[in-house]
Amino acid sequence: MTIRKLLPPIHIHPILLIFMVISFFTGTFVELFIILVIVLIHELGHYIAAALFKWRIRKVMLWIFGGVMDTDEHGTRPLREEFFVTIAGPLQHFVIYGMVLIGSALAFVPAAMVEKILFYNTIILVFNLLPIWPLDGGKLLFFLLSIKLPFRKAYHIMIMLSIVLTLVVILLQFVFYSFTLSAFLLMIFLLLENRSEWKKKHYVFIRFLLNRYKGEQWIKDVRPITVPAQYSLMDVFIQFKRDYKHPIYVQMPNNTRLYIDEADCLQSYFYDKNYDLTIGEIAMFHAS
- Tell me whether residue 121 is exposed, middle or buried, using C-beta atoms within 10 angstroms of its C-beta: 0 to 12, 13 to 18, 19 or more: buried
Alpha carbon distance 138, 89 (integer Å): 13
Does residue 62 contact residue 38 with C-beta atoms inside 8 Å?
no
Where on the phi/psi map is residue 168: left (φ > 0), alpha (ψ -120 to 50), or beta?
alpha
End-to-end CA distance of the chain: 57
Cα-Cα-Cα-Cα torsion 24, 26, 29, 32, nearest 10 degrees, comes to -110
- Residue 256 amino acid letter: T
43 classed as catalytic: yes
DSSP 155-180: HHHHHHHHHHHHHHHHHHHHHTS---
Single out the catalytic residue among 43, 82, 193, 197: 43
Contact 227, 251 (CB under 8 A): yes
Q: Residue 124 and residue 127: Cα distance in Å, rounded?
A: 5
β-strand partners of 250: 227, 258
Which of the residues are catalytic?
43
